Amino acid sequence: MPSVLPEPHEYAALAPTPGSPVQVAFSDVRTLATAGYATLLQVAHPTVGAGVHQYSGFTADPWGRLLRTLDYVHGTVSGGPELAGSIGRRVREMHRTIRGVRADGEAYNAMEPDAFAWVHATLAGAIVDGHRTFARPMCEAQAETFWRQWIDVGRLVGVRPRDLPATWRDFRPYFDRVVREELTWTPAVPELLETLERPLPPAIPGLHPALWAILRRPFALQGRLATVGLLPPELRPRLGVRLSPGEERAFRAIAAASRASSPLIRGPLADFSRVYVRYRGVALARGDVAAGTPEPKQAATAA
């Protein structure tokens, strides 16, 4: 069977470059608030949720897992073609061993093309939603160029273009259909929500400790509220989550304050992705992303 991964000589054409739509979109530090939202959309997919629940270290090492996720995203977005290509190959290889039985009794395999594509799609959807809610909204043309480049980025990890909408205009119908027909409660949902209730780490790569000390508390509140506040309303009861009227008001107020902060988003706050890659250079060069072979936390029947 031919590989879905690109050849090394293709990396340069697929990886984002400094100032490209994808690199710029992921660089606004305010979009970090959407990390929980994207992850919740992912683990609500039956296949992804089963794999995360049975193999992931959510509960044992939540912030270590966060760093590895940030390493994957920003190493791919801002680490250059060679790093992006090597990360993609390692991530693809790691997922080959993740398989078992879902809570509904159906066999699953992490290499299922639809599930693999959905994870990639949620990252783009969360970034666009995050810019609209917390930063500066992308216009239709900006979202389109961002999405087309994100499809290219997906090829680095083996997401086939035919498994995603070809245009941003077609993204929302695709997104709405998956939410309506496929997403559901999985055991990974409460595990993620429990993680989000924990205090943020005392330091975050790429930001000065004094600056993070100021931002840490509002970011924690923003992240928790954003995770549920950004969810499609029809999905909230299905996942057993809600915002009280007071929390809805707080979410809107935080979003408005975040948008109003745009003149202050400069320096490392506006270039977070590249700053992060410089800070995590040793770990990225060492290959911490997708290192080792994942082992199930509990017995999982092989598919």
pLDDT at 125: 97
* Residue 73 confidence class, pLDDT cut points 50, 70, 90: very high
pLDDT at 303: 40
- Taking only the tens place, the pLDDT of each residue in 7-35 is 999 999 999 999 999 999 999 999 988 99
- The mean per-residue pLDDT over the stretch 246-259 comes to 93
pLDDT at 301: 42
pLDDT at 222: 73
Q: Does 225 have pLDDT greater than 60?
A: yes
Burial class from Cβ neighbours inside 10 Å (0-12, 13-18, 19+) for residue 259 reads middle
If one compares 212 and 37, the residue with the highest pLDDT of the two is 37
pLDDT at 302: 40
State the alpha helices, DSSP H only, in 56-139: 62-78, 81-95, 113-134
In the DSSP assignment, the letter for residue 108 is E
> At CB < 8 A and 24+ separation, what contacts does 207-213 make?
207/29, 207/268, 207/272, 207/275, 208/268, 211/268
pLDDT at 78: 97
- Taking only the tens place, the pLDDT of each residue in 260-286 is 999 999 999 999 999 999 988 888 988
Length of the chain in residues, anyone? 303
Q: Is 47 part of a structural domain of the chain?
A: yes
Q: Does 79 have pLDDT greater than 80?
A: yes
- The mean per-residue pLDDT over the stretch 150-159 comes to 97
Separation of alpha carbons 126 and 32, rounded Å: 10
pLDDT at 206: 57
Q: Is 261 part of a structural domain of the chain?
A: yes
By residue range, what is the domain housing residue 210?
20-286
Separation of alpha carbons 101 and 47, rounded Å: 9
Element (H, E) at 196: helix 188-196
pLDDT at 204: 62
If one compares 3 and 182, the residue with the highest pLDDT of the two is 182
Q: Which of 251, 227, 234 is nearest to 126 (CA)?
A: 227
pLDDT at 103: 84
* Residue 207 confidence class, pLDDT cut points 50, 70, 90: low
Name residue, tokens 């390692």. Answer: 90
- Taking only the tens place, the pLDDT of each residue in 93-104 is 999 999 999 988
Cβ-proximal residues to 106 (8 Å cutoff; 6+ apart), any chain = 46
Q: How far is CA 188 from CA 51, 54, 195, 212, in A?
A: 9, 9, 11, 29
- Taking only the tens place, the pLDDT of each residue in 41-57 is 999 999 999 999 998 76
Q: Is 293 part of a structural domain of the chain?
A: no
If one compares 204 and 110, the residue with the highest pLDDT of the two is 110
CA angle 275, 93, 52 (to 5 degrees): 75
Separation of alpha carbons 204 and 202, rounded Å: 7
The answer to whether 34 and 222 have CB atoms below 8 angstroms apart is: no
Separation of alpha carbons 220 and 196, rounded Å: 8
Say if strands 99-101 and 107-109 run parallel, antiparallel, or are unpaired.
antiparallel
Q: Does residue 107 sit in helix, strand or coil?
A: strand
- The mean per-residue pLDDT over the stretch 219-236 comes to 87
- Taking only the tens place, the pLDDT of each residue in 162-202 is 999 999 999 999 999 999 999 999 999 998 888 877 656 66
Separation of alpha carbons 111 and 172, rounded Å: 24
Separation of alpha carbons 40 and 17, rounded Å: 29
Q: Is 109 part of a structural domain of the chain?
A: yes
Domain count, the chain: 1
First to last CA, the chain: 19
Separation of alpha carbons 83 and 17, rounded Å: 12
Q: Is 229 part of a structural domain of the chain?
A: yes
